[in-house]
Every structure is written in structure tokens, then in C-alpha cells.
């Protein structure tokens, strides 16, 4: 049988999946909107369900949403708006006037059945404005939302980036926001391409992107991904990590992100306590993301 050459040269199309998206910087912060555009352009079906206001640093807090008694952040909705709402011309962009966990819970329980006819295949949070390294994971709402999703059985990734400040959705997209969205899409697509289950039960990924400068690390292609630990290992006490890059001890994510060069760290966490997962779980992720991961130089 004869196949046209052009067809046989086409790369395998990335599998498009249903994704719920949240953050702690708020539904109208530009990073979550840039990521929405990037994941949608990659073919995924994305629904955004994030706090109405800046809820940075609220960890795993959860409370019944309430009617807005002030405007949503950046005047993105008027005071007096209902506890949950959406952009009338883009109903996939939803706010919840409560914490990050509450907002992703609403996305999973209420919006996903409507848009996806069931649970989302993946939860992504961020890109957070500012890194979430080490102890930060206990306070970050971006991490709180991701670990909530992982605990209810949805593979989850928390993304955070070093550069930028909280910025309204409706300005010219800053370069860092585009770079972080492209990097997050790259990780998502790589994980999805490795097939289901996307992650083992109860496992989430903490992904941190290093700084985007004016003349350094200005494009997603400049960045290298390194498998890392969330917390510093305690000598003689912490069990060995997965063996890679000639060692059974992974670098901490702080070390990776602070290294000279353009680096992004990927740590494998346990949702229940936000601590590092064991070497077996790290090995699953190393295998799935082997096409993306490199060693720290
Ligand atoms: C958002 O909240 C955090 C934590 O309270 C605070 O540090 C930050 O300045 C707030 N951002 C804005 C733009 O107000
Ligand atoms: C709502 O969506 C429209 C159309 O995409 C856009 O022009 C507007 O800025 C959006 N507003 C908010 C708060 O998302
Ligand atoms: C590693 O962690 C997983 C998930 O928590 C657990 O099911 C498994 O028993 C652990 N394996 C080892 C060797 O500790």
C-alpha cells in the first residue's frame, strides 16, 4: 500500500486532553490567562477556575464562597457579583470568591461535569508569580490547589516562575509570562504523551522556572529541565533518591533554580503531606519525562 510521503513525515499529534486550571494569584492575573492560551493552542480543552482575588499564601485553606463585597482583582468583576461567576464572552474563565482549593474544587465538581462530561484528566495550577521552593510549598495556594486535585485522584502539576509581579490579564503579555506558559505546556505535553496514568495516585509535580531576563533566558528553548527534590535530604536519614545523573541524591529545586544558566526544576511530591515522594515514584516520573530531563551542569 502506498502512503503519501508528507503524511508519513507528520509528527505524532499530541493527545489532547481535558484540563482544569487554577492558581492563587487570581483568575484575572495574566499568567493563568497566558497558560490558558498556550494549552488551548496545543489542542487541549481547558477550563479555568481560580480565586476572584489575590489569594497568595493561603495554602490549603477552603471555605464556602461568598458574594463579592468589593470588586474582583484588577476590577475584573464589580462589587456585588455572585460568589461564583464567569466572563460572559468566555464562560471557560471562571472565578470563585474564596481560596485556591475552593476554586479548583468547584472546577472539578461543578464545571468539569459540564464541560468535560466527567472529571478532568489533569489539573494544572499557576504559573505562580514567584517561585515555590522548599518550605514555600506549605504556604502556597498554587501548591494547595494542585495537592487538593491529586488527593481526589486527578494528576496535578503546580507551576511557578521566578520573574514578574502580579499583572492584570488585559495588558500586553510580558515575555516572562509567555516563556513560562510555553514551558508549562511543554511539561504537560511530555507527560500526556507518556500515556495514562499520567502520574501515580497521590503524586503531584512541583515545577519551578528560573528567571527570565532582559537578555538571558528569554525563550522557552533556552531552558533545561532537571529532576529535583523539594526538601534538603538529611544525611544518613533520608532514603536514597532515584539514580540519575550518576547519583542517588537529587539536587534540591532551590539549587536547580538558583544555578547559573536557564533551569527549571521538577520535583515529585506526595499530595497528603507535600513532602518528597520516594525513589520508586521519582523513577516513574523520570521515565515519563526522560525526553525532557537533563543533568545540572
Ligand atoms: C497578594 O497577596 C500577597 C500575600 O498576602 C501579598 O504579599 C501581595 O503583595 C499581594 N499582591 C498584590 C498585588 O496586592
Ligand atoms: C472577558 O473576555 C473578553 C473576550 O475574550 C475579553 O475582552 C475581556 O477582557 C475579558 N474580561 C475578563 C475579566 O476576563
Ligand atoms: C513509595 O511510595 C508509594 C506511594 O506513597 C508507596 O505506595 C510505596 O509503597 C513506596 N515504596 C517504597 C519502597 O517505600
Q: Is 142 helix (H, G, I), strand (E, B) or coil?
A: helix
Q: What is the pLDDT of residue 14?
A: 57
Centroid of ligand 3 to alpha carbon of 169 (angstroms):
41
Give, for ligand 2, the residue of 26, 50, 89, 95 to mutate: max count of ligand atoms closer than 8 Å to Cβ: 89
Report the relative pairing of strands 156-161 and 90-96 from DSSP bridges.
Answer: unpaired
76 lines ligand 2 (CB under 6 A): yes
Q: Measuring CA to CA, which residue among 273, 141, 233, 189 is closest to residue 16?
A: 189
Q: How many CA atoms lie within 13 A of 170 on its CB side?
A: 4
Ligand nearest to the CA of 50: 2
Q: What is the pLDDT of residue 291?
A: 97
Inter-residue contact 252 to 232 (CB < 8 Å): yes
Whether omega before 127 lies within 30 degrees of 0, making that bond cis, reads yes
Q: Ligand 1: which atom is nearest the Cα of residue 55?
A: 2
**Per-residue cell: 217:** 533566558
Measured CA to CA, the distance from residue 29 to residue 34 in angstroms comes to 9
Question: Is the pTM value of this prediction over 0.85?
Answer: yes
Centroid of ligand 3 to alpha carbon of 10 (angstroms):
40
Ligand nearest to the CA of 280: 3
* Cα pseudo-dihedral 223, 15, 144, 134, rounded to 10: -30
Ligand nearest to the CA of 92: 2
32 lines ligand 2 (CB under 6 A): no
Q: Which domains does the chain have, with CATH numbers?
A: 17-288 (3.40.1210.10)
Give, for ligand 2, the residue of 170, 171, 172 to mutate: max count of ligand atoms closer than 8 Å to Cβ: 170
Q: Can you name the residues that pair with 73 across neighbouring β-strands?
A: none
Q: How many CA atoms lie within 13 A of 27 on its CB side?
A: 31
Measured CA to CA, the distance from residue 74 to residue 71 in angstroms comes to 8
Q: Is 106 helix (H, G, I), strand (E, B) or coil?
A: helix
List CB contacts of 76: < 8 A, sequence separation 6 or more. 26, 27, 28, 52, 95, 168, 169
- Per-residue pLDDT for the chain (297 aa), expressed as one digit of tens each? 444 444 444 444 458 999 999 999 999 999 999 999 999 999 999 999 999 999 999 999 999 999 999 999 999 999 999 999 999 999 999 999 999 999 999 999 999 999 999 999 999 999 999 999 999 999 999 999 999 999 999 999 999 999 999 999 999 999 999 999 999 999 999 999 999 999 999 999 999 999 999 999 999 999 999 999 999 999 999 999 999 999 999 999 999 999 999 999 999 999 999 999 999 999 999 999 999 999 998
Measured CA to CA, the distance from residue 145 to residue 149 in angstroms comes to 6
281 lines ligand 3 (CB under 6 A): yes
280 lines ligand 3 (CB under 6 A): yes
Report the relative pairing of strands 224-228 and 90-96 from DSSP bridges.
Answer: unpaired
Centroid of ligand 2 to alpha carbon of 38 (angstroms):
16
Helix ranges (DSSP H) in 161-239: 175-193
N residues, the chain: 297
Give, for ligand 1, the residue of 53, 54, 129 to mutate: max count of ligand atoms closer than 8 Å to Cβ: 54
Q: What's the order of all strands across the beta sheet hosting 203-209? A: 84-87, 90-96, 45-51, 18-22, 122-129, 156-161, 203-209, 263-270, 224-228
Ligand nearest to the CA of 199: 3
Q: Ligand 3: which atom is nearest the Cα of residue 239?
A: 14
Q: How many CA atoms lie within 13 A of 281 on its CB side?
A: 20
Amino acid at each position: 500500500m502506498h502512503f503519501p510521503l508528507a503524511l508519513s513525515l507528520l509528527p505524532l499529534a499530541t493527545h489532547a486532553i481535558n484540563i482544569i486550571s487554577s492558581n492563587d494569584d487570581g483568575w484575572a492575573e495574566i499568567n493563568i490567562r497566558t497558560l490558558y492560551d498556550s494549552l488551548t493552542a496545543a489542542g487541549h480543552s481547558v477550563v479555568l477556575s481560580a480565586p476572584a482575588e489575590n489569594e497568595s499564601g493561603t495554602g490549603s485553606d477552603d471555605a464556602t464562597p461568598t458574594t463579592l463585597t468589593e470588586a474582583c482583582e484588577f476590577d475584573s468583576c464589580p462589587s456585588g457579583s455572585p460568589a461564583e461567576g464567569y466572563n460572559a464572552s468566555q464562560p471557560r474563565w471562571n472565578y470563585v470568591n474564596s481560596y485556591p482549593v475552593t476554586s479548583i474544587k468547584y472546577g472539578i465538581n461543578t464545571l468539569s461535569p459540564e464541560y468535560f462530561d466527567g472529571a478532568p484528566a489533569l489539573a494544572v495550577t499557576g504559573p505562580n508569580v514567584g517561585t515555590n521552593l522548599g518550605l514555600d510549598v506549605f504556604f502556597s495556594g498554587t501548591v494547595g490547589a494542585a495537592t487538593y486535585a491529586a488527593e481526589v485522584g486527578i494528576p496535578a502539576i503546580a507551576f511557578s516562575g521566578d520573574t514578574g509581579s502580579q499583572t492584570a490579564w488585559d495588558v500586553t503579555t510580558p515575555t516572562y509570562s509567555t516563556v513560562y506558559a510555553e514551558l508549562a505546556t511543554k511539561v504537560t505535553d511530555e507527560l500526556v504523551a507518556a500515556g495514562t496514568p499520567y502520574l501515580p495516585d497521590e503524586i503531584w509535580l512541583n515545577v519551578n522556572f528560573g528567571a527570565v531576563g532582559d537578555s538571558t533566558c528569554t525563550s522557552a528553548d533556552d531552558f533545561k529541565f532537571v529532576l529535583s527534590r523539594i526538601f534538603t535530604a538529611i544525611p544518613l536519614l533520608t532514603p536514597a533518591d532515584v539514580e540519575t545523573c550518576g547519583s542517588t541524591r537529587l539536587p534540591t529545586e532551590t539549587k536547580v533554580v538558583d544555578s547559573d544558566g536557564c533551569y527549571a526544576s521538577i520535583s515529585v511530591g506526595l499530595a497528603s503531606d507535600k513532602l518528597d515522594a520516594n525513589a520508586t515514584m521519582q523513577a516513574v516520573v523520570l521515565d515519563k519525562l526522560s525526553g525532557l530531563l537533563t543533568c545540572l551542569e
